[in-house]
A = this chain, B = another copy of it.
């Protein structure tokens, strides 16, 4: 075994963690979300951009509005999850850079005055942070159900604004009965890793 991470943590985060399709009724509290954020906020991003934004869909009325934009196959589980989060990229993240990257506060004006450059950087780095968030949900002992099967543009208009690009919707909770599909195969090491 070449890993420093103990086996229980490996199982919790990767080996036994699965995308849940059903959930119990046990609520996910704001304290749990705070604990998740306080862990995964440290995950690295370029220039410490940290463009990920998280919209917790808590009210029944907001949940209904979200369901209308989900792909049909994702609707039932999104309706029943204790908590649903919309993850988005803030394309105006650069306004915070003088604070977030004190080593080079000029980064905002040196690199990020063009919106297309910001959108590209925000998508990449918020994508990294979305993965950290999924890992964080698992670190809290909860199951995540990330979904891109949705009308993301519709979700933007419904919940966000032109400065934010939705990346995915994540169901969060304790897994319920028959929560798992069979685990799909993974690529072999030699299909993924090459050496030059």
Q: How many residues of A contact B (CB 8 A)?
A: 81
**Which residues of chain B come closer than 8 Å to A10, judged between CB atoms?**
39, 139
The yes or no answer to A141 lying at the interface (CB within 8 A) is yes
Interface residues of A in 1-17 (CB under 8 A from B): 1-6, 8-10, 12-15, 17
Q: In the bound complex, do residue A42 and residue B15 qualify as a contact, i.e. CB atoms below 8 Å apart?
A: yes
Contact A2:B31 (CB < 8 A) given known A128-B127, A193-B37? yes
Chain B residue nearest to A127 in the complex (CB) = B127
CB distance from A153 to the nearest CB of B (A): 13
Please give 5 more A-B residue pairs, beta carbons under 8 A apart, in addition to A14-B132, A33-B193, A127-B127: A4-B141, A14-B42, A53-B192, A59-B196, A131-B132
A57 at the interface (CB under 8 A from B): yes
Q: Contact between A55 and B159 (Cβ–Cβ < 8 Å)?
A: no
**Residue A162 lies at the interface, judged by CB distance under 8 Å to chain B:** no
Question: A1 to chain B: which residues have CB within 8 Å?
Answer: 35
Number of copies: 2
In whole angstroms, what is the CA distance A9 to B9 when docked? 7
Instruction: Identify which of B5, B29, B132, B195 contacts A139 (C-beta below 8 A).
Output: B5
Q: Is A19 an interface residue (CB 8 A)?
A: yes
* A6 proximity list for chain B (CB < 8 A): 6, 8-9
The digit string for A32-64, where 1 denotes a CB below 8 A from any CB of B, is 111111111111101010101111111100100
| Distance A55 CA – B194 CA, assembled complex (angstroms) | 5
With both chains docked as a complex, state the minimum distance between the C-beta of A36 and any C-beta of chain B, in angstroms: 8
Closest-CB distance, A158 to chain B (whole angstroms): 9
Is B196 a contact partner of A139 (Cβ separation < 8 A)?
Answer: no
